Amino acid sequence: MSRPAPSVPGQAGQERPVPTSAAPGGAAPGDAAPGPAGLDVTGLDVDLDGTPVVRAVSCTVAPGGWLALIGPNGAGKSTVLRAIAGLARHRGTVLVGGTDVGGLRDRERARLIAYVPQAPVLPPDMTVREYVLLGRTPHLGYLAHPGARDQRAGEESLAALDLTRFADRRLSALSGGERQRVALARALAQEPRMLLLDEPTSALDLGHQQHVLDLVDELRGSRRLTVVSTLHDLTTAAQYAQRLVLLDGGRVAANGTPAEVITEELIARVYAARVAVTQDPEGRPVVTPLRKP
Ligand SMILES: Nc1ncnc2c1ncn2[C@@H]1O[C@H](COP(=O)(O)OP(=O)(O)OP(=O)(O)O)[C@@H](O)[C@H]1O
C-alpha cells in the first residue's frame, strides 16, 4: 500500500502540509494519549473578514465530558469549533488540558485535538484505508511509514465505523453518509485527547446516527476522550451531552445542563420556533416541533 502524503491530521478534510520531526519508524512508544484533557475557553472573540462573528464566548468541559454547541443557523457554532481547533484567528484563550492551543505547532495540536468539519473535502483518488491512516501522521517520525500499531489503529477505526468493507474503495465512490463516517474514522485513528465534531451525523441515517453517537460516547469512557460537537437536533444534543452552550448572534445565550438550557421559552426566543419540551424516561428534555395551529 502506498503511503499517503503528510497533512495536518487534526483537520480531516482540510489537507495542508505539516512539518514532521526526525524520528524514524512508525508510532513511537509513549505516543498514546497521556490522559484526559478538559477544555477552558475564556473570552473568545472571532472576526471574519472584519465582521464580528463570535463575541465573549466562555465555556468549560470537564475531561471526558461532552459539550454540545447549539443555536440557530449563523449563530457561530462552527466558528467557535474552528477557533478551538486552531483554524480561526481569535482573541481570548483556549486551553486544552491546561495547554494554550494557540501556542502549539500543527503537529503538537494534532496529537491533542482531532477536528471533523461539517462538510469534509476528501481527496477523491485516495482509498478509504489510506485516508484513515492519515490520522496517524502526527504520531509518525519524519518519512516514517506507519508501523504495526498505526495499521492496527487504522483497521480498528475502520471497523468501529462499519467501513471495513469499503477499505479499498476510492473516496470518490462513497455516499455522503459513508464519507462522513470516513472522516470520523480518520479522527479516531488519530487517537486524540479531544474530539471536535461539526454536525457529525448530518448525513447519516437514523441507525448510523445512533451508532456513531453511541461510539463517541463509549470512547469518552474507554479513552477518556473529551468531546465538543455542534448538533442541530436538540433532543439528540440533550441525550448525549452533559452540558449545552446555546449561541445566539455569536454570544452565549445560555450555558448549563440540557434541562437548564432546553426550555420552551428559550427556544421560542432564540430560534423563533414553536416547540413542546417534554422529558424522556431518564428525565432528559425531548423537543417536539409544533405546527401552526
Ligand atoms: N468570511 C466571513 N465574513 C463575514 N461573515 C462570515 C464569514 N464567514 C462566515 N460568516 C458568518 O459568520 C456567522 C457564523 O457562521 P457559523 O458557520 O459559525 O455559524 P453556525 O452557527 O455554525 O451556522 P449553521 O448552523 O448554519 O452551520 C454566519 O452569520 C456567517 O454568515
Q: Please compute the mean of the pLDDT values over residues 43-68 and round it to a whole number.
A: 97
Pocket test for ligand 1, best of 47, 51, 53 (most atoms within 8 A of CB): 53
Q: How far is the CA of 75 from the centre of ligand 1 (A)?
A: 7
What confidence score (pLDDT) does residue 232 get?
92
Atom of ligand 1 nearest to the CA of 79: 18
What confidence score (pLDDT) does residue 139 get?
86
**What proportion of the chain, given as a percentage, has pLDDT over 90?**
68
What confidence score (pLDDT) does residue 147 get?
85
Q: Is the pLDDT higher at 242 or at 2?
A: 242
82: Cβ below 6 Å to ligand 1? no
Banded model confidence at residue 148, pLDDT cuts 50, 70, 90: confident
Alpha helices for 134-175 (secondary structure H): 148-160
pLDDT tens-digit profile of 237-251?
Answer: 999 999 999 999 999
Cell of 206: 437514523
Q: What is the pTM of this model?
A: 0.87
Q: Is residue 112 predicted with pLDDT exceeding 50? A: yes
* Domain ranges, ordered by start, for the chain: 39-258
Q: Is residue 19 predicted with pLDDT exceeding 80? A: no
Element (H, E) at 131: helix 128-133
220: Cβ below 6 Å to ligand 1? no
Cell of 29: 512508544
Q: How far is the CA of 73 from the centre of ligand 1 (A)?
A: 8
ipTM for the predicted complex: 0.98
Strands 251-256 and 91-96: unpaired
Q: How far is the C-alpha of 192 from the C-alpha of 202, rounded, in Å?
A: 22
CATH architecture of the domain formed by 39-258: 3-Layer(aba) Sandwich (3.40)
Q: How far is the CA of 202 from the centre of ligand 1 (A)?
A: 17
Q: Is the pLDDT higher at 234 or at 218?
A: 234
Q: How far is the C-alpha of 184 from the C-alpha of 241, rounded, in Å?
A: 18
Instruction: Count the alpha carbons within 13 Å of 12 in the hemisphere toward its beta carbon.
Output: 34
Phi first, then psi: give them for residue 255, nearest 5 degrees.
-150, 115
79: Cβ below 6 Å to ligand 1? yes
What confidence score (pLDDT) does residue 137 get?
87
190: Cβ below 6 Å to ligand 1? no
pLDDT tens-digit profile of 59-101?
Answer: 999 999 999 999 999 999 999 999 999 999 999 999 999 999 8
Q: Is residue 262 predicted with pLDDT exceeding 50? A: yes
* Nearest residue (CA) to ligand 1, atom 6: 48
Element (H, E) at 246: strand 243-248
Q: How far is the C-alpha of 36 from the C-alpha of 16, rounded, in Å?
A: 27
Query: Within 10 Å of residue 148's Cβ, how many Cβ atoms?
Result: 9
139 burial level (CB within 10 Å; 0-12, 13-18, 19+): buried
Neighbour order of strands in the sheet with 66-70: 113-116, 194-198, 226-230, 66-70, 243-248, 251-256
Q: Please compute the mean of the pLDDT values over residues 93-122 and round it to a whole number.
A: 90
Cell of 273: 420556533
Q: Please compute the mean of the pLDDT values over residues 170-194 and round it to a whole number.
A: 93
